[in-house]
Amino acid sequence: MEIFNINHTLFTLWGYNVCLLELVGVVLGVCSVWLATQGKAVNFLVGIVGMSFLTVFFYQKGLYSSSILQIISICFCAFGYYNWTKPKKDEQTTQRTKKITVLTKRQRILIVATILIIVAIWGSIMVFTKSGFLETLFPETYNPKGLGYLDAYILIVVMFGMYLRTQKKYENWFLFLSSDTMGIILYALTGAYFVVLMCSIYWLLDIKAIISWRKEMKSY
């Protein structure tokens, strides 16, 4: 259907053409993150719908790692909803909700090192490889500006962040703060300005969550 094409404009905002895929994905994405800052498990269900729209949007935009990211995140959301609504007894608060916990110093170092290694590998594949299967799946290549590495960074960091969120780990917000910062840069360079707005709102919500989740942990 034409309405699900990124070239189909719903309205123009400050000279920028907004399509249905981008609009729905952004609005539901912001709602999902806001619900997560409140510790509401329903954030995962809202996220699933929003990410489904963004999957198609990013693929049509040529941001393949971002498109893959949405699919993986949908799986994480399904697992996260179950994990948050069915916590083990030793993970429950007095209100029987899942407790916020933190990683050990060793776990933090391991995660950062793993992220950097995977980003270097996946980014190189996306930038330099164009043959066979990849050429069929990804018909466009990145320009020399390093967008492939930025796209890969966002993919890997959000994957780790989503996993930590399913476990309700405090550090997930620091990973999302990093990925949203890079997202603002990447999507501005590729002209997805409405998604830039989404990432900017995410960035502010990340800060809010870092503060509010810390206060909640102190209340235990």
Residue type, 156: I
Residue 40 lies in a domain: yes
Q: How far apart are CA 34 and CA 29, in angstroms?
A: 9
Residue 118 lies in a domain: yes
pLDDT at 142 over 50: no
Among 98, 77, 85, 91, CA closest to 33: 77
Query: 164 is in which domain, residue-wise?
Result: 2-86+101-218
Question: Does the pTM exceed 0.95?
Answer: no
DSSP one-letter code for 2: G
Residue 181 lies in a domain: yes
Whole-number percent of the chain with pLDDT over 70 = 86
Residue 157 lies in a domain: yes
Please say whether the beta carbons of 60 and 5 come within 8 A. yes
Instruction: Give the model's confidence band at 146: pLDDT under 50 very low, under 70 low, under 90 confident, else very high.
Output: low
pLDDT at 113 over 60: yes
Question: pLDDT averaged over the chain?
Answer: 84
Element spanning 11, H or E: strand 9-13
Residue 76 lies in a domain: yes
Report pLDDT digits (tens) over 153-189: 888 998 899 999 999 999 999 999 999 999 898 888 8
* Cα within 13 Å of Cα(21), Cβ side: 20
Instruction: Give the model's confidence band at 48: pLDDT under 50 very low, under 70 low, under 90 confident, else very high.
Output: very high
Among 216, 180, 185, CA closest to 26: 180
Residue 92 lies in a domain: no
Domain count, the chain: 1
Residue 91 lies in a domain: no
Residue 48 lies in a domain: yes
Find the helix packing angle between 172-189 and 193-218, rounded to 10°.
170
Please say whether the beta carbons of 58 and 64 come within 8 A. yes
Window from 48-57, 127-136, 194-203 with minimum mean pLDDT? 127-136
